[in-house]
Amino acid sequence: MGRKTEAIFNKKDAVERGFKISSYRVKFLKFVAAEHCDAMPLLPIFPITLDTIMVFAVWCSENGLNGGMDCISNYIGEVVQWAIQYSGQSDPRSDSDKATTDWRKFEGNFREIVQTKRKLKLRIQPAMYQAIMSMIDENDWRDMRDGAMYSICFYTSARIGHTAAACATRPKHLLRFKDLVFDPSFDNPERIFIFLRSTKTRKEKEDKPTWQCIGKAGKDLDRRLCPVYMLHRWVASQYAGDPEAPLFVAFKEKRRHLPCGRTEFADLLRARIVRALPLLECDIQSFDISLYSAIGFRKGSLSALAHTKGITTTRLAAHGDHRNVDTTLHYLSDTTEERAMNSSAIASHFRA
């Protein structure tokens, strides 16, 4: 088997997966350091036993991995592959009939007994978006960068991977200056076309790009609510002649050559939401900021569009770059007013 064939077969592209592999292994090493003792010896690390894997699964559920077995199985799978590569051992989950039976029993019971604690992220409502943008300082570099990012996220429902990279050395879907086209001209744009060469549902190698477009909006409102204004001003102030440069870079000077990262994006977004709470008349003490993240823009965008008269689910699916309408429906939810109106609709069937 040739090297390229083997790489495709095993899907072992270090550039694509290296950062994930590292985090999986580091988690296991932390587990060994924390739990190794005479009663449960974990050193040497290899070979790994089925008992160790089971204890590791429980430990993960108690130490930050809240997604249940679906999440933890990714860590277990990588640790097992690590053990196989390093020591040549077989997979302890299936190296005998008894091991297979025991693992299936444990995995099934784990899914029933261990509660998934993953929090459902909330959408960013138009009022919240408006409050955040009202506090953007147009003379501050970081404020304008974030304002331009938020404009793209909210008005196009683009996934976070287009504005902030999961890994600085792996900016696969990231937007670059060359991906923007200002129409009819850069100096006086009415709309901006945004080229998306790849997305979560469009693999880069398949060469099936898609696009988005934002237009002038909020004519009689704060100009910071206009996506064309925010993005045009950002590009006008930051483009230095390199069309390949990432559209949004990290804040720290020594990292300005790298794209903005997910952690930086999330931390600043939550800080801005907290700052905006007084404008929304929300109680800071009872507000759970952990319920908000980048996907809130996507949910808010699709929900706002869905509650606009004349917008069809097909158009929503196209706006969200979904493969089918069923996927789009997961992002939508009724308002309290709409649910309350259901009572009148039901009552309309009674006779006076």
**CATH code where residue 248 lies:** 3.90.15.10
**149 in a domain, yes or no?**
yes
**16 in a domain, yes or no?**
yes
Domain identity same for 256 and 139: yes
**294 in a domain, yes or no?**
no
Q: State the total domains in the chain.
A: 2
| Alpha helix ranges (H) inside the chain | 3-10, 14-35, 50-61, 69-87, 97-113, 126-134, 141-156, 227-238, 262-276, 295-306, 313-319, 325-329, 336-347
Boundaries of domain holding 187 = 126-281
CA distance 164 to 214: 19
| Alpha helix ranges (H) inside 62-96 | 69-87
- pLDDT at residue 4 in the model: 53
Domain identity same for 53 and 190: no
Q: In what order do the strands lie in the sheet with 210-215?
A: 180-183, 191-196, 210-215
- Note the pTM of the prediction, 2 decimals: 0.73
Q: Last residue of a domain, which of 48, 83, 113?
A: 113
Q: Report CA 127 to chain centroid distance, whole Å.
A: 22
**89 in a domain, yes or no?**
yes
Q: CB–CB of 12/48 below 8 Å?
A: no
- pLDDT at residue 14 in the model: 45
- pLDDT at residue 106 in the model: 96
Domain identity same for 137 and 208: yes
- pLDDT at residue 169 in the model: 66
Q: Last residue of a domain, which of 91, 113, 135?
A: 113
Domain identity same for 245 and 182: yes
Domain identity same for 222 and 271: yes
Domain identity same for 238 and 91: no
- List, for the chain, all residue ranges whose pLDDT scores fall below the cut of 50: 12-19
- pLDDT at residue 352 in the model: 81
**Which residues are within 8 A (CB) of 125 and not within 5 positions of it... i.e. 6 or more apart?**
300
CA distance 310 to 306: 9
